[in-house]
Structure 1
Amino acid sequence: MNDASWIDATGAAMWALVERYTGQVGYKRGTKASGLNDHPPVIDCSGWTALLLSEGMAAANRKAGRLLFSDADVAAVHTWSDRLIENLERRSGFIVTGDHITVAELPPFATIGLQQGGGTWAKNHPRPRGITHVVQVVHCPGDHAPYVSEAQRMAEPYGLRLLPLAEWIAGTQDNLKPGMAWAVAPFAG
């Protein structure tokens, strides 16, 4: 994917979803994109990240006028947070871990998986690396400022929220330790 002309289209597609749904959608564990049709609309972290990534991949394919991301690539992001990180790492061969997750070290549109516990449900469903939360880096069109978009229930406001990347990193320092956090490059490969 040496021709990067599709990057702006990818970013615009993801940002359009962020603008449409941020602050409008609640959080519900285990609920994927179909939850956006519920009243009130709900989604979980991996459902939201999968939607952002699959829309970004589709936009990249349209802009490039060829298949950059196959149906298998898109299907690989429609899974739980731990598998999503694992699948993207396998495809791209790229990963940043722990305290190396910084504004300077992250690739554009990084997907970040975190070990955040999760309570009883997480103990009943063991996960590789213990990842129980995933977030997506998006960029504001125009100035390309990086933000984190996430569906979460750990901090207010609950549901879909958007934070500047530097602010999110500062607020997540306790989880950005070796063996607790992993970032991958979903559009590399």
Structure 2
Amino acid sequence: MNSPIAFKAAEQTMWRLVQRYTGRVGYRRGVKSEGLSLSPPVIDCSGWTTLLLTQAMQAENEAAARAVFSADDMLALHAWSDRIIEEIGTRTGFILEARKITADTFPRYATIGLKMGEPEWANNHPRSRGITHIVQVVCSPEDGAQFVSESYGGSVSPGISLTPLTGWLASSENHLRAGEMWVVDPFRLASKAQG
């Protein structure tokens, strides 16, 4: 894995959110962070990724007492899964397509977009690269262990879950081999904001 750049406030914020909501929030397509106030609480994959990233970036800005991440970049993350990948990739100039994803190229806090079949709803809402799902890599502040946090509405464990990165990548191998996975590094937006 790439050597980590210290984003301690961001890392701790994402980890707190994951600890608070994993296993306690269900999945509902099209529902963003406002769904956390529903009873029972629900959120979709892009809503969850957006919440993790924007709160992490705001925490980093507050810890640094300056704009490490620009308000414009954070606002651009309030989108659907394919658009989040597109915005981060375009704004940072960094996107890995499936065949270029290796342990050496994989960002510490990767955001991963996947083409997961061709759902019927996507016929009326075509997606860039066919991306229909997004997940966020988070790290344990205690030991640096990497996990994938996602909100998913499949047949198993619907809602927010946390899976060790190595296990998640192994279970997603078919997407990697089929060229249906893209990785971006949202924290590269920090260097862009700093000029």
Q: Following TM superposition, by how much is the alpha carbon of 1:154 offset from its aligned partner in structure 2, in angstroms?
A: 2.2
SS, match of residue 109 in structure 1:
coil
Counterpart in the other structure of 1:184:
184
Unmatched 5+ residue regions in structure 1?
none
> Cα–Cα, structure 1 residues 133 and 37, in superposed 2: closer, same or farther, change >3 Å?
same
Counterpart in the other structure of 2:69:
69
Counterpart in the other structure of 1:160:
160
Cα displacement string for residues 59-107 of structure 1 (whole angstroms, at most 9, x for unaligned residues): 1101121101121111111100000000000111111111433444311
CA distance in 2, matches of 1:5, 1:167: 24
> Cα–Cα, structure 1 residues 52 and 185, in superposed 2: closer, same or farther, change >3 Å?
same
Which shifted more, 154-163 or 106-115? 154-163
Give the TM-score, by structure 1 length: 0.93
CA distance in 2, matches of 1:106, 1:38: 35
CA distance in 2, matches of 1:103, 1:156: 28
Which shifted more, 61-70 or 93-102? 93-102
Counterpart in the other structure of 1:14:
14
Which shifted more, 75-84 or 153-162? 153-162
CA distance in 2, matches of 1:37, 1:176: 35
SS, match of residue 177 in structure 2:
coil
CA distance in 1, matches of 2:29, 2:50: 14
CA distance in 1, matches of 2:5, 2:134: 27
SS, match of residue 62 in structure 2:
helix
Q: Work out whether residues 99 and 179 of structure 2, in 8 Å CA contact, stay in contact via their aligned partners in 1.
A: no
Moved over 6 A (4+): none
Aligned residues: percent identity? 49
SS, match of residue 135 in structure 1:
strand
Q: Work out whether residues 103 and 166 of structure 1, in 8 Å CA contact, stay in contact via their aligned partners in 2.
A: no
SS, match of residue 87 in structure 1:
helix
Q: Following TM superposition, by how much is the alpha carbon of 1:126 offset from its aligned partner in structure 2, in angstroms?
A: 0.5
Q: Following TM superposition, by how much is the alpha carbon of 1:155 offset from its aligned partner in structure 2, in angstroms?
A: 4.7
Q: What CA RMSD, in Å, does the superposition of the two structures yield over aligned residues?
A: 1.5
1:141 partnered with 2:145? no
SS, match of residue 147 in structure 1:
strand
CA distance in 2, matches of 1:105, 1:155: 31
> Cα–Cα, structure 1 residues 5 and 102, in superposed 2: closer, same or farther, change >3 Å?
closer
1:28 partnered with 2:41? no
CA distance in 2, matches of 1:52, 1:118: 26
